[in-house]
Structure formats: C-alpha cells, structure tokens
C-alpha cells in the first residue's frame, strides 16, 4: 500500500478508535459508585467488603480479555484484522448497554466478562498499524493511535460524569422513578450508541490491512489451548520480545492497581483522608489525564523519537508513572492544581510508555519474522493477566488497610503500585545489550 493509500485507512482507524474509546471510557467516573451501590444492595455494608467488589468487577472484564484476546489476535492472522475489529465493536455496543441495566453484582460481573471476551481491538489495532507501516513510520503512527486513545479518554470520562444521574442533573423527561432507579444507564446507553457508530464507520470505510497471501493457515491452536500456548510459548519468542511483553505486563499491573483504587480514594470523605469528589469531579480529572495523553502522544512523541532513543523514552515513562502513583495518597482537596500535577506525571509517563513500547515490540517481531497477530495477542494475554491480578490485588490491599494505622493505611496500595512500576525498569535492562548484537539489519 502506498503512503497516500495508507492515509485514508489511518484516518478512519483513528476515528474508529476515538469513538470506541469515548464509548468505553464513559463508564470510568461512575463505575466505582455503581459497583458500591450494587454491593450495598447485596448486603455488603462495611467499606472494606463493599469496595472489594470494585476490584472483582474490574477484573471480570480483563479475565474475559485474558482468555480470548490471544485467540482473537491469532485469528486476525488467519482471517484478517477487519472482521475481528468489527466483532469487538459489536460486543462493545451490546454489553455496554447491558451493563447500565445491571441490578445485581452477578449480572455486572457477567456482562463485564462477556464484554472483555469479545473485545480484542487493542491488540488487533496495533497489528493493523504494523501491517501498513515501515520501521521509520511506526513511532509516529503508534503515537497517532495513542493520541486517539488519549482524546477518547479525555472526552469519555467528561461526558460520562455529566450524564450520570440525569434525574437530578437534568430533570425534565428524566425526572421519573425509572431514571431515579437507574442513575447510570444514560452514560452506558450513550457509550453503546457511540460504539455502534464506530462499527458503522469501520464497516463502510476501513479496508483490510492483511492481504490473503500473508495470512497464516494454521488453525490447530484454538480456545484455551491458544491462551496457554501464548503464555507458555513466550519462551519461543526472541529475548527482546519476551522482555518487552513482561515490561508491559508489569506496567499494566501497576497502572490497573491505581485505576481500581483512585476513585475509591477520591470518593472518601475529606475527614477520613479522601478528597470527597463525586462522579463529575472524577470525570474532570480523567478528562485532564486524557488531554495530557493527547498532547504527549499526538504532539511530543514524534519529535522525541526522532531525537532520542525510543527505549530511553520508554524508561522515562515508567519512572514518571511510578512517581505519580506513589504521590496520589498524599494529595489534599486543595489546591486542586497539586492533584493535577500528580496526574500529569502519570499521564505523561503512560503517554511516553505506550507508543514506544509498541514500537519496540513491533520492530523486534518483524526482525525475527514473527507473526504480529501472535506477538500482540501474547502481549495482550499477559497484559490481561496483569489487569486481572491488578484490580484484585489492589482491592485486597485496600480492603485490608483502609481502616488501618501507621504504615498500613490507604496509602499502602499506591506505594505498592509505584514500586511495581519501577520493576519494569529492571526487567528491560538487558534489551540494549541484546540489540547491540542482533538488531542491526
């Protein structure tokens, strides 16, 4: 495909990912409050046991991804990227709307699991970019897709926070008993409809990126067998690819620990050490995080990767994120700017890490003639495993320490997350040494 011919698919992919991310991130500001309401309705009254279920619901989504994303990534090597992207968008549409109608914890857990099982779009999107990009084009194009994630992350939580509890916020047609009983349905409905729009755009305007002659025909590994093959079979990948997969898994473990407990912390009453924020305030914070992500991945990554080593930028991203994670529990309600500064560290670090890590692993996969779908599927499988462990581990630490004193308080989970993030720096340590002997073409 020529450079000019690639521009249109990239633009459409940008729009698809943007709309998909807006729909997905709409749930962020209220998901914690929603799960807390469901847990209390099911009889979990005290803070520790109630908040534990926030981690379980979050982990259910990534359990579905863990079991099925490697299969979807490998399947995209066989049937093409486009059909798998379409399937993911359909699943998003159905299960985002269904989540807003959940009336019990079991239903919320089941719906989130099915949503994760059907959505392998992150792995397939990266493989799509790898299909149509040269080595020199990869950093900028991964950054552009990352910017669409960041822009979606900025718009989605902002809109989600505003649309929560429309009966109180807007009144009028929403001032009914049904909307009072379903305060979180409107943002979920909006998310599902946006995903449907994304599906229509993709089905009409997004071409296939993987020609038939380049597709694999091996269909011997399926289902759970494929998941286990990708996890155990990571030893058959190149040393650099293995290290990068484990660096990504470590980073995501720390990041999801923060994601699980951040709103638990901000929603705590001020007199208990929290910030006393509601859904809208948290929506504004995550919108700011998305804005920083857009600036970093959409504007800074390209010139930085031209001037500096991609691996060094990735390491800086890990360090910045670690500092921000450890800073969170020391925030005060005022000044508000201090909280934004801590989130700037996290957002900038994540903005540095995601496109550079994706660029490095794609380059290494190509150099070693590995199928991008398999590599990205394995990475997303390990990433999903981290996103399962992260929420459960964070919820466990939070529940065990939230009422504690001394060293064991609600600060603990954020300290642990920061230390786990730093582990990624040590895991990637050997990459430069390996590249010196193998990466010259």
Tens digit of pLDDT at every position of the chain (441 positions): 555 545 567 777 777 777 777 877 788 888 888 988 898 888 887 777 788 888 888 888 878 877 787 778 778 888 888 898 889 889 889 998 999 999 899 999 999 899 888 877 777 887 888 888 877 777 777 777 767 777 787 888 888 889 998 999 898 899 999 999 999 999 999 988 988 988 888 888 888 888 777 777 655 455 556 667 667 767 777 788 888 999 999 999 999 899 888 988 998 888 888 888 888 888 888 888 888 888 887 778 888 888 888 888 999 999 999 999 999 988 888 887 777 888 999 999 998 998 888 888 888 888 877 777 778 778 877 887 888 899 899 988 998 888 777 778 888 999 999 999 999 888 888 775 444 444 433
Any domain includes 288: yes
In the chain, the number of structural domains is 1
Q: What pLDDT does residue 153 have? A: 77
Write the DSSP symbol of residue 297: I
Distance CA 207, CA 201 (A): 11
Residue 169 neighbours by CB under 8 Å, 6+ apart: 162, 163
Any domain includes 417: yes
Q: Are 428 and 247 in contact (CB under 8 A)?
A: yes
- Structural domain boundaries, residue 392: 3-205+223-438
Any domain includes 211: no
Q: What pLDDT does residue 151 have? A: 78
Angle at 129 between CA 255 and CA 1, to 5 degrees: 175
- Token pair 């990205």: residue: 376
Name the token pair of 263. 């709103």
Instruction: For residue 57, give the nearest of 21, 18, 31 by alpha carbon.
Output: 31
Q: What pLDDT does residue 61 have? A: 84
Any domain includes 395: yes
Q: What pLDDT does residue 413 have? A: 92
Q: Is 418 helix (H, G, I), strand (E, B) or coil?
A: helix
Q: What pLDDT does residue 230 have? A: 66
pTM (2 decimals)?
0.76
What CATH number corresponds to the domain at position 360? 1.20.1250.20
Torsion sign over Cα 278, 279, 283, 284: negative
Residue 377 neighbours by CB under 8 Å, 6+ apart: 69, 70, 71, 72, 73, 74, 76, 120, 123, 230
Q: Are 69 and 208 in contact (CB under 8 A)?
A: no
Q: What pLDDT does residue 435 have? A: 45
Any domain includes 137: yes
Any domain includes 109: yes
Any domain includes 19: yes
Distance CA 410, CA 268 (A): 10
Name the token pair of 369. 């003639």
Name the token pair of 94. 């159905």
Any domain includes 214: no
Q: What pLDDT does residue 440 have? A: 39
Q: What pLDDT does residue 7 have? A: 56
């Amino acid at each position: 495909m020529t450079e000019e011919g690639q521009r249109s698919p990239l633009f459409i992919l940008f729009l698809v990912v943007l709309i998909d991310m807006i729909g997905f991130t709409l749930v962020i500001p209220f998901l914690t409050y929603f799960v807390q309401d469901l847990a209390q309705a099911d009889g979990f009254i005290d803070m520790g046991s109630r908040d534990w279920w926030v981690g379980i619901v979050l982990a259910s989504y990534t359990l579905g991804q863990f079991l099925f994303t490697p299969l979807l990534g490998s399947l995209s090597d066989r049937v093409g990227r486009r059909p798998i992207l379409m399937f993911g968008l359909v699943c998003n549409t159905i299960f985002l709307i269904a989540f807003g109608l959940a009336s019990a914890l079991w239903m919320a857990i089941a719906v989130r699991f099915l949503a994760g099982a059907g959505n392998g779009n992150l792995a397939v999107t990266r493989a799509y970019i790898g299909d149509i990009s040269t080595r020199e084009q990869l950093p900028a194009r991964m950054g552009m897709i990352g910017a669409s994630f960041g822009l979606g992350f900025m718009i989605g939580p902002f809109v989600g926070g505003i649309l929560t509890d429309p009966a109180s916020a807007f009144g009028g047609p929403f001032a009914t008993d049904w909307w009072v009983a379903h305060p979180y349905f409107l943002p979920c409905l909006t998310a599902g409809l946006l995903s449907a729009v994304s599906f229509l755009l993709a089905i009409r305007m997004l071409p296939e990126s993987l020609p038939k002659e380049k597709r694999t025909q091996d269909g011997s590994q399926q289902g759970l067998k494929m998941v286990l093959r990708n996890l155990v079979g990571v030893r058959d990948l190149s040393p650099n690819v293995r290290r990068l997969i484990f660096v990504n898994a470590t980073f995501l473990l720390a990041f999801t620990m923060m994601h699980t407990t951040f709103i638990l912390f901000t929603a705590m009453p001020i007199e208990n050490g929290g910030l006393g924020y509601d859904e809208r305030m948290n929506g504004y914070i995550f919108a700011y995080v998305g804005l920083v992500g857009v600036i970093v991945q959409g504007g800074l990554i390209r010139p930085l990767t031209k001037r500096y080593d991609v691996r060094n930028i990735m390491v800086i991203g890990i360090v910045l994120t670690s500092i921000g994670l450890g800073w969170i529990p020391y925030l005060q309600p005022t000044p508000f700017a201090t909280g934004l500064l801590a989130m700037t560290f996290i957002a900038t670090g994540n903005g540095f890490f995601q496109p550079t890590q994706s660029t490095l692993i794609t380059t290494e996969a190509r150099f070693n003639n590995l199928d991008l779908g398999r590599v990205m599927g394995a990475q997303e499988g390990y990433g999903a495993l981290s996103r399962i462990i992260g929420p459960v581990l964070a919820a466990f630490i939070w529940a065990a320490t939230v009422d504690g004193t001394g060293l064991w308080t609600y600060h603990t989970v954020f300290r642990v997350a920061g230390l786990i993030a730093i582990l990624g720096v040590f895991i990637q340590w050997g990459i430069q040494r390996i590249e010196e002997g193998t990466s010259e073409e």
